[in-house]
Amino acid sequence: MSKALLLAIVITGIPLAASAQDARDAGTNAGAAAGGAVGGAVGAVVGAPAAVVGGVVGGITGAFQPQFHHYVVEERVPSYDWSGHSRVVVGDVLPAEGVTLYPVPPQYGVTQYQYTVVDNVPVLVDPSTRRVVEVIP
C-alpha cells in the first residue's frame, strides 16, 4: 500500500468509510458514487482485515479480538436492543439513554475507549462522543 493511500485512509478515517458502506447497504447510488470517488481507500478500510482497521482507529488488533470477544461474553454484559436500527456499524452514535459503557481492561491496550454490546455484538465506543469506533466480530 502506498504511503499516500495510507495517509488518505488515516486522514479520512472510518466515518467516511462507514458512510459509504451505509449508503451501499441502503441500496442507493450514493454508495456507488462515494465508493467510486475514493475507490481503494474506502474498500481498503471497509474490507480490510480487522488488524488493519484496528490499527487505523486505535482499536483492538486482530490478534486480541477473539480474546476480547470471549472476555465480553464471559462478563455477561447485557445487550442493548437497538430497535429500528438494522445493524451496528462503525460511525454509529449510540443513544444517550439505555446504553451502558464499560471500561476496557488494560491488557487490550485501548483504555481511551469503552465497550458495550449492541444487538448481541460487542463494540468499542468513544465515550466522549458515544460513536462506535470498532465492531468486534
Cell numbers 500500500: residue:
1
Residue 89 has what pLDDT?
Answer: 94
pLDDT tens track for 7-32: 444 444 444 344 434 443 444 444 43
Q: What is the pLDDT of residues 70-119, one digit of tens each?
A: 999 999 999 999 988 889 999 999 999 999 999 999 999 888 999 999 99
Report the pLDDT value the prediction gives residue 52, as an integer from 0 to 100. Answer: 36
Q: Which three cell numbers stand for residue 53?
A: 482497521
Q: Which residue has the cell 475507490?
A: 39
pTM confidence score: 0.58
54: phi then psi, degrees, rounded to nearest 5: -55, -40
pLDDT tens digit string along 52-72? 333 434 688 778 889 999 999
If one counts every other C-beta atom within 10 angstroms of the C-beta of residue 61, the result is 18
**Mean per-residue pLDDT over the chain, rounded:** 70
